[in-house]
Structure 1
Amino acid sequence: MAPEQAPTPISELSLDDGAAGAAAAARAPRWRELLLDRAVILPLLIAACLVAGLGVGLATLRQQLLDSEERMLAALSSALADQADSALAAAQTAMQATAEEIAGGAWTPDTPVAAAVLRARAAALPAARQMLLLDARARVLQAADGSLDEPAHDRADYFHSAAGAAPGSAHIGAPTTWPGHRTPWIPLSMPWYSPDGRHHGVIVVAADTALLLGGFDRRRPAPDARLRVLRTDGTPLLESEPSSGWPQRAGTLRPPTGVAAWTQIVDAPGDDGQTHGLLLAGHAMQRAPLAVVLSRDTHVVLADWRLQAWLVGGFALAALLVTTVLSLRHAREQRWREHSQRDLQRQRERAARAFAAAREGLWEWDPASERHYLSPRMRELLGFDASASAPPATHALSWPERVSQDDRRRLREAIDAHVRERTRDFSVTLRVTPPGEPPRHVRLRGQGLRDAQGQLLLLAGTAYDVSDEVAVSEAARRLDEQLQRARQFEALGALAGGVAHDFNNVLAAILGFGERARALAPEGSALAGHVQHMLSAGERGKTLVARMMAFGRTGQGLRQPYRPRALVQEAWTLAVQDVPEGVDARLDLDADDQELVGDGVAFFEAALNLMRNAVQAVGERGTLRARLFTETVEGPRVLWQGSLRPGRWLGLLVEDDGPGIEPAHLPRLLEPFYSTRGAQGGTGLGLAVVHAAVRDAHGAIELRTAPSEGTAITLHLPLPEPAAAHPAPGEATAWSGQGEVVMVVDDEPALVALLEEHLAERGFEPRGFSDAERAWRAFEAEPSLFAAVLSDQAMPRLSGLELIERCRRLSPGVVALIATAYGGTDFGARASAAGVQAVLAKPLDWAELDAVLQRLLHAPR
């Protein structure tokens, strides 16, 4: 009998012409190889040389344009400087002649002759608007035009620079705005002396800016050209028009020493907000320590050159690009065939290495021969010997000893759907159980090859191990179930919190009026006994409300004083009420009944969880012990969770002789939703609640456990220093108010009436409101009337924090108090931010309320 031959693997099947062409196209020669070809390099070098030559020519043309503009600006600045020198010379001559005539006694100021002389000389000076004779106190003695208003000359720089100067010395002042004229005038000044040689005042010529600017507007070479007159130290004196592009650094524009003319290019911001080059050309004056500086924006000067550069550069780049494309195409066609053959071989080698690195198996199934082809990795996944071929099967990968019946059915359905619906491929995850090996999950992906008539010729595909993915998915599913349970707890908590809030208001009224009824009932009477029973029931209801609020909250609770001894006793009573008779349960309360400040409900829940865990661990028979004690820690001590610092600590020990805790569970013991009981019970929240309560109290947890040796867990909470102890409740009973007006706001009318009655008895004037909006309107009308605001938190339309925030904004000195059972996560921080000075727990404790009012209203400020 001839041996059966396995079908040809799909990797060895021939491809049609279209597929071969696509494979060859994907393996074209690399561009880097083409760029190194001589057929490409030589044309590119020639083109690059041409482009470089064009670039040199453009750079030369640019420099020529700048040089030409420099020469033009230098010539114009020289002409403007000479014109300004001429105008200054004429003005200096007129002022000097005036001073010499006065010194020679030709005429005296404040005479008709003096007025005529000044008018004649002012009219003869170019651009002159006024000529004045000032005395030594800057008072006007004579003016060429007496109709003009005069500025304050005594504070002007031109007066002080000329006063007391040498005879014949001329001075130029800063441009000055003359009264009634918008444009500034240029003041020129020179001292004048009396015939006896004494200094008597200053001669002032006020000229138009054209005196220095000359005919720049008529000779402006371009719209962007600017003219500025500078002093020799670089200080600007005058400019043709304001320019944001002029450099602000004085050193940049300081005229060079000993140089009559200069040019330079500096960087400066242009009118478009960008930095451009600024072409400067300056020329020093001879008659005055001034320099005329012309400027033009190089961006404007080179506008035509840039257009030419873009055109030339675009043409050069286009020519270079065409040359490059043609050269690359020629080289690519030459190497196409050789590279295609080499690339095809490399792709085959890469595919083989990729499958080996990816740990994927290849499989094929021939329906006609019912034979499989399995790669070595595929045989490994299915548990076959690496050297033996797979046995025949009536369907793809259907070996009953390795794949379950359900998985084989799912595989056949997926293949049939793929063949029937002509989908691109199919994917199925099978649970494979090789003989003698643990089960594994294998994901199969494949597709079918058909003939021209659509008949199935071959099934082929890949497979890889997804056991880790399945494990992660299963873990995610379990975590999602825990999350759903947590959301159910959250919903129940929200419901419990809402019910508890409403019940708390009712309970507060019952306890408040009950206490008042007990105070009015005769001592020892039946009525007093009945009221006392009612108050006892109310206190139990208060504890129930606290538990409901603790169940409903999701963050840290309020920090209030509480007695841990009473809470431990109550938790013990609840935990051991149903323990079997074979359990020896003992509670030792060795610690004093000291008061702590924190979340008492959280401490109660933590103690109750530890005790219930111990009861469940003991079972039907064993020993259970709880002990409350205090200790003094001398040095730092590291515990299982947290550490103890030196000081006094309160400890709660809960221990049992149950089966103990396995070491494998210890690292995850405090994780939420992690339970060592599995499906037998427990939500995994108990120790997480314990940990949260201890953490919020800045405590630590000590754990001692071992299999079959029981478990002992100790909670450590820091004790306050003796000096920090709270005053006894009765210490504030002798204090009373002094008629202060206190606003009381609560949506429960009974509580408003109760608080009003109590505050009135304590010496206050209460104003009660059961509507927060009405309370705000009353406060807004008379904010100074109210000394304090006592408000509930949860109210319709306007919460207590919002009301107090408004009141504190209007009257910062008002005392603000909030009464609530639980305000939500981080309520203390939110209350402090709103301006609340004290948070009171509901139902209210009258002694605590009196003490808080005494501290906030009558404490020394």
Structure 2
Amino acid sequence: MVLLWIGAVTESFRSRQLVLQSNDRELSSLASALAEQTARSLQGVEFILRRTSGWALDAKIAQDSRAAADRFLREEIAGVPQVRQLDIVDATGQRIATTLPDSPAANVSKRAYFKAVQRASGNALVVSEPLVSIIDGRPTFAMATRLEDEHGRFKGAVVALIEDGYFLDFYRQVDADEGTGITLRREDGAPVVSSDNRQRSGQAGRPVLSARKQVPEFQLTVDITRDEALALHTWRVSTIYDFMGTGALSLLVVGLGVALMRRLQQLGRFTRRLQSSQRRWRAVFDNAPAGIMLLRPRGRYVAANPAFQRMVGYSSTELQNLTATDITHPEDVEITRQHIERLLQGGLQSVRFEKRYQHRDGYTVWTDVRLARVTVSEQASGKDPAREEDVIVATVEDVTQRREDEQARRQLESQLRQSQKLEALGTFAGGIAHDFNNILGAIVGYGELALQALADETPEQRYVAQVLKSADRARSLVERILTFSRSGLTTRQPVHVQPIVQDSIEMLKVRLPACIRLEAELNAPKAHIEGDPAHLDQLVTNLCVNAIHAMPGGGTLRVVLDTLDLDAARSLSHGAVEAGHFVRLAVSDSGVGMAPDLLERIFNPFFTTRKAGEGTGLGLALVDGIVREYGGGIDVSTMVGAGSQFELLLPTIDSHTSQPREDEKACPYGEGQTILLVDDEEALVRIGEERLAELGYEPAGFVSSDAAWQAFRADPQRFDAVVTDQTMPGITGVELARMIRSLRAEIPIILVSGFSSPALEAQAREAGVNAQLRKPLRRAELARTLKHLLPD
């Protein structure tokens, strides 16, 4: 009888230890899973805070951009259930942007987490104590990151209010026992989120079982507690019945049978509780949004949750027949092996890195992987002794979309910088064009007068003629810069393509090196485009000059012009064209060709492969700008060592007539009409007066638009026509034209400008300007325009 009771007490004590150990393992496993899941949820919040901080510092938020900032914040937390509100506050704690724009103004300067962010440095991240929302009074807690300028001075903070219910709901799903509490604490022990009802139910102070796990990468812990009484409830009942059974066994055999039956029932309940604990772990494993897998260090997969199976496209059964390297991208196999070796041999608790998986369908999946080593013990069975084995637990997050978004953002930033370069160039070109063309105007004007005063076939005449040719080249250079910067685009006109291309080729032959053979095949005699003849000449000239430079040792330059009909849209290497009728200009060479990395940059402004001083890098950028402006496209084909071909497609028009090119030497004369001449450059006024007088007109020149207006207002009938500059101090040419029209509606007005644009042309037409001429103004052009506008 004594031995029977000793056995009963011993068995009771052993059963108690087993129950406590089982609860400890269960709580530890549950705490680990919850810590990992909590880390994943908070990493998403941290990523939003970091990206929002970078955006806030770059965007330089102002009051007039509040709506855009609020919209950006709402887009950042869209689809992130754990974040209920995202704010940006300034250095005083005043909210300056929020995802709740209609909420009342709030100041968080007295919040403890705000003061902690103020005291911090760098990109510190602070997690607050439990809070009550200033807006709606609901429980929450905050994560905040510091904003500081380039000197490290505190500029404010980005604050995310976390949805308290998000974590509470998750905690309730994984453990429904009333005696079990789950608490998320800060490093100082302050609770952040708690599902522990023990305090409210009057159970505080009773013995508890507990487990604590650090939340990876955050100064937080997950604490799980369970009333010891609850954990030992089964044991106590079992012990009571054991003792009752022992007592009954001492009295009679029948009592022993009853006790054994009840013991079996209690063991069944204990088994069901263990199974319930296993189901809770399985719920975490199966429902986690991140991929979770177990694998042997140098063997096959042991298990993989549904999230990982969806990520790589393989079922759990298929994965068990694969190793870690079988579905890893070939370029990442070695780095994966190195990280596993570090984990196993370096004494690390976990390692984290990015790697690529090959999806079953063939595409690449970028992931953020965290590996941890777990030692699993197996009990002895039969003749096999107990043994321990290392198993790797991996959590995998799909970051493919995040990387694609980041790449798209970098592309947009690159396009923005390119646009800013073009805008700056346009502003620069427009600013210098007026002054530079004024200088060229004086050179051309006095050069023409000098040329007329000299006898034919004299050295002096040839010298002056060369000066005028150089001035024409300078004027062409300004046209190229203005065309490239979009500042010089003018109203288009029908252009007969083949004669312009033929003239450009003839001009090119003069400077063609002897080692290069030119082949031209022009088969588009009726093709017309809507544009500018000068632009077409620039296309031919720039492409041919580039081809010549690509053949330093000589070769063949081939120019082909023909027409092409497209029944469907076509994508080209640089641009795309819709279906329609096109004129095709192909320029090819037998030179050195281009490598792929060079081909990607040839149309970038200021990019050139020539030596310093030999090229500006604007030639192909100008070609690209003109072709795009005309609605065409460019197809480039090249091979290193075998030459290149540039094929331009420009849409044609139905017009079969273009403006006839007038004889530059034809200068019709006037009949003594009085011309009001206005320009703020005195040299241009003087040369203009001499030109007009030579052409048979009576000039009245003014270097001030105000003085010219006073003279016209004093006697409007004195003048027969007006020639005015556009850019002048005080009254501009368009404004002067509008004022003159108010006094005399029928007088012809000619506007002269150093550069033009569609906007300026529209303003001039609205003001009543009859004709617009470009500086430097040629004598014959002025003579023909006046003759056309003045009545016979």
Shorter-normalised TM-score: what interval? 0.3 to 0.5
State the TM-score, normalized to the length of structure 2: 0.47
State the TM-score, normalized to the length of structure 1: 0.44
